[in-house]
Structure 1
Amino acid sequence: MSELKRPPLPHDFHPEVPSFTVVSDDVAPGATLADAQVFAKDNTSPHLRWEGFPAETESFAVTCFDPDAPTGSGFWHWVLFDIPADVTELPAGAGSGTFGGVPEGAVHVRNDFGERNFGGAAPPPGERHRYVFTVYAVDSEKLGPDADATPAAVGFNLRFHTLGRAHVIGEFGTD
């Protein structure tokens, strides 16, 4: 996609909010994602840890979005919300497999693969895409939607309930 202008990030359309820090043992900013985060390989959600979020945070949401997908609307790879405010880290694999490490009460909605879990990188042949892992600090314990909501409905609610936001972006491409 180097010859095309890259689409904006999903939160570029949301109101500005304070930033905080998110780091990952598995995703380095701007680096190529490992096989573990690739759909056709290990398909494992990455480790994420965050700090410095607003003190009034009541819960968190975590998403993974590919703004470069050739859909006209991007592609949601992971949407998890209602993560309790005392949880500031998700281990690798929390959003996949047996969901070890997903906190009690957290809600997965279907990604654009149609599954309630993490779906790894899967760009079309010959394209390199960005995978935006975002952690949202939320102003309420429960965001509102349930597990049957769409990623767009969750995003709509996040627009109005986000106190702070942080992201790390990995990339992946195929030949």
Structure 2
Amino acid sequence: MRLTSDAFSDGGEIPRECGYKNGNKEPALAISGIPNETESLALIMDDPDAMGAVGKVWVHWVAWNIIASHADMDDIFSNSRCNLGMTDFGEVGYGGPAPPDKRHTYVFKLYALDSELDLPDKSTKAEVEKAMEGHILEQATLTGTYAP
């Protein structure tokens, strides 16, 4: 399985308009090679570099029960086709990059699951990760950087 973006290459710079304070626009994402037995997908975006600045990995996006048949993820999140969780901004949905100190690397993690997750909207990253245990068929990552 592969996760890509037309907005930035793996390891490349995430566009300014995707930043939390610069438009907070979700980057376009595309998936290929979804395993046949996939029932749903989950996506987590976080910032491990925030550990040095704020003492924890900062959660920017949590989504699950994404319909596996969609190869192009544009508009899936804004059209209520999945469940959305809480970010560390205290908001539901996408919260773009917002490094407080220097350039940070953001990790988009996509999971192919053998079932849907029975979780309410506003669930946390930890709750989604716990619910995914034993259901992950495959995963893919995409990284991007962003500077203040």
- Do the structures match in fold with TM over 0.5? yes
- 1:89 matched to 2:72: yes
Q: Which residue of 2 aligns with 1:167?
A: 141
- Alpha carbons 1:61, 1:80 under 8 Å: kept: yes
1:117 aligns with 2:106: no
- Which aligned segments of 4 or more residues in structure 1 are displaced greater than 6 angstroms? none
Confirm or deny that 1:28 pairs with 2:9. Answer: yes
Decide whether the 8 Å contact of 2:44 with 2:125 is kept in 1.
no
Cα distance between partner residues in 2 of 1:165 and 1:88: 15
Task: Find out whether 1:151 has 2:134 as its counterpart.
Answer: no
In structure 2, runs of 5+ residues without a counterpart are none
Among all aligned residue pairs of Structure 1 and Structure 2, give the percentage whose two residues are the same amino acid.
Answer: 34
Whether the 8 Å CA contact 1:77–1:118 is kept in 2: the answer is yes
Is 1:46 matched with 2:27? yes
1:130 aligns with 2:105: yes
* One-letter amino acid of the structure 1 residue matched with residue 31 of structure 2: W
Task: Indicate the structure (1 or 2) with the bigger Cα radius of gyration.
Answer: 1
TM-score for the superposition, normalised by structure 2: 0.90
Q: CA deviation at 1:94?
A: 4.9
Matches within 5 A, 1:60-79: 60-69=41-50, 70-79=53-62
* Equivalent pair of 2:84/2:123 in contact (CA under 8 Å): no
Consecutive unaligned residues in structure 1, runs of 5 or more: 1-19
Q: Which residue of 2 aligns with 1:11?
A: none
Count of matched residue pairs:
146
